[in-house]
Chains A and B, each alone.
Chain A
Amino acid sequence: MADLQLKKVFKRYGKVETIHGVDLDIRHGEFIVFVGPSGCGKSTLLRMIAGLEEVSEGDVFIGGKDVTTTQPSKRGIAMVFQSYALYPHMSVKENMSFGLEVTGESKDVIEERVAEAARILKLEPLLDRKPRQLSGGQRQRVAIGRTIVRKPEVFLFDEPLSNLDAELRVQMRIEISRLHEQLGNTMIYVTHDQVEAMTMADRIVVLRDGNIEQVGTPMELYHSPCNQFVAGFIGSPKMNFLPVSVTSVVGQTVSVRLPDSQEITLNVEHGELAVGDSMTLGIRPEHFLHGESADITLQIKGDVIERLGGTTYVYGELDGQTLIIEADGEKDIVRGELMDFSFHLNRCHLFDKDGIACKQLAVEAAAA
């Protein structure tokens, strides 16, 4: 069983603290994705799990064993690096067998495991080639093969697809997901690409400035982000945010005024809200409807229209606030024309002045 726990883990470089006491429980066989913007500490956290970075404070447990001070090679982990880190002077086969050779495995075991990994990753015809003779995708497969042969309990991936072109990235994404299905090991994957996170993860860990913002399944994060940062980070294109002000608070029923002076009323969990407080209303681009009626309708002039075929993105403004709207590609949308876009209130997200989500309980009222 390769479950993994981080308990109050800190990382400090001199006086600078980059990881601020992270707690995390990862179950055996889970595919966990660490996601966040550059500099949020996701790679540092992964390297601390690997043992490549010292843990300044706190504990790391793998399979119930405290490995905080254990050598990287003794932790039962294997890692795929962003640069692939293949040894350029060795052939594919030598690259894959290196780890087994240095730990003194017999030749038969090495042959058998390399052959098995090569079969799984379709590397058989490439075994005698040097890394420079391989394409980016093939190199990535070799890097994965090098980890498979060691039969680790936990696989770590540090932005492994960021050097690949868009098409290959999609292909490799699918291959890694298949591999997880096939091997059933615990995998921790670091990326800054939320699409990779959404498509591959069993659970996503969203990080910001060395703190975990939220942990949850992709759909939990999509539907119930705990704050404005997570709401903006998960989903593509990004969620629209409109500044609103509170006009009335009666128990859990809160009314807010939109920039175009319309008023909406939502039933939300909240702390202390008062009339006049500034809040933020979030609505995802794909939750706007065009040519259909819903609870609220906004009149928006499309300044820029991006046609992708099946989908059209409309960039417009609502009282100085830029909005992006995802519309059906077949709909007749004309640039510069004032159009009606509507949305249902149950699709809205309300955030208080600190950016904390006020969870919706039920929608009771529509536009005033």
Chain B
Amino acid sequence: MVSTQNTDKHTTGRRRSLKAGDRRFALMILIPAMTAFLIMVFYPFMDAMSMAFYQFTIYDLEPIFIGFSNFQSILTNPYVLESWVTTAIFVVGTTALTMCVGLAWALLMYQNFFGRSVFRTLTLLPWILPSTVSAFIWAWMLNGKYGIVNALLLGSGVVDENIQFLSDDLGAMMAIILTRTWISIPLFMSFFLAGLQGLDFQQIEAARLDGASNWVVVRRIILPHLRPVFLVTAALGMIGNLQQFDIIYALTGGGPIRSTTVLSIEVYTQAFQNWDLGMASAIGVLWVFTLMPLVVYYLRSLFKED
């Protein structure tokens, strides 16, 4: 009995020292990555954030500390709040549409049919294309004079005259949502398809034997199975859409009349058109705080899985 206790103590002591050694080794191999992160990401981020407390325009030789004035301006500036609402519309619309189409496409690609792998590969095409190229393709397709979308709508008699998609408030918003959705579908489809492949197909067969229709199988078996994938995909999709800049800038430049000016465009405009770096940073802070809950949710669900 005594000897057993001694052995236990000895083992525990050794394990503790080993753990400490492991920790030291882990820290050592983390140093290069941490250094790169601190220099390349953390310092510039904090520097940019701190700029929110300064006035620094093209007329100022040095940044002037002004405390929370930039934030007070944001609260009273209708343009910034308008951008926040535009961002919300864009993010919610794009994420919802991408999730619906991505899920539908994944369900289609889950079926067994001839040439499925070719179709799956082709589906990835929008993801491979550079986003500015996709934006120009869509700009051309939605062109008010020569676009194929107008040609189809006119040809099928849906409309009597061309729609000026990109010079109309609603049309421009629809255009950026459609383009972003088109680009995001492959990624979302891949997530859903991976989730579907984790589903025991015998559950679907059992439901079929029970007399369940396609809709019942989707609603009662497939969607509950995909729930965790849904939540993570929604969070990731919203984060990605909140950060969106290039497609919107290439398609509409934030117009017409600011109707597609989301926070990212607003930051760019303030920083590099109005040369008000302090205000741009303050909007950046607002942007980060909008993103934060989603990021926290996403990271928590990742760690929960671990």
Residues of B within 8 A of A74 (CB): 211
> A15: which B residues are within 8 A, CB to CB?
none
Contact with B along A97-109 (1 / 0, CB 8 A): 0110011000000
**Chain B positions within 8 Å of A83 at CB level:** 200, 202
Any A CB within 8 A of the CB of B286: no
Q: Does B250 contact A (CB under 8 A)?
A: no
Asked whether B211 lies within 8 Å of A99 as measured between CB atoms, the reply is: yes
CB distance from B115 to the nearest CB of A (A): 15
Interface centre among A51, A79, A85, A99 (most CB of B within 10 A): A85
List of A residues within 8 angstroms of B203 by Cβ: 85-87
Tell me, rounded to whole Å, the shortest Cβ–Cβ distance linking B284 to chain A.
Answer: 41
Q: Name the B residues within 8 Å of A150 (CB-CB).
A: 210
Residues of the B chain whose Cβ atoms lie less than 8 Å from the Cβ of A99: 209-211
Specify which chain A residues have a CB less than 8 angstroms from the CB of B227 in the assembled complex: 89
A50 CB within 8 Å of chain B = yes
When A89-B224, A102-B216 are in contact, do A73 and B211 touch as well, CB less than 8 Å? yes
In the bound complex, CA of A102 to CA of B207 (Å)? 9
B227 nearest CB neighbor, chain A only:
A89
- The answer for the CA separation of A78 and B216 in the assembled complex, in Å, is 18
Interface string of B6-21 (1 = CB under 8 A from A): 0000000000000000
Q: Which of chain A's residues have a CB closer than 8 A to the CB of B224?
A: 87, 89
Cβ contacts A138-151/B at 8 Å (1 or 0 each): 00000000100010
Does chain A have a CB within 8 A of B220?
A: yes
Q: Does B225 contact A (CB under 8 A)?
A: yes
**Is the CB–CB distance between A81 and B202 below 8 Å?**
yes
Give complex CA distance A288, B212 in Å.
56
B229 CB, min distance to chain A CBs, angstroms: 13
**Inter-chain contacts of B205 with A (CB < 8 A):** 52, 72, 79, 81, 85
Please, which residues of chain A bring their CB within 8 A of the CB of B225?
88-89
Q: Closest CB of chain A to B180's CB: distance in Å?
A: 32
A89-B225, A98-B220 known; A103-B211 Cβ under 8 A: yes
Residues of A within 8 A of B216 (CB): 102
Residue contacts A-B, CB under 8 angstroms, 9 given: A50-B209, A73-B211, A79-B205, A85-B202, A87-B221, A88-B225, A89-B225, A102-B207, A102-B212
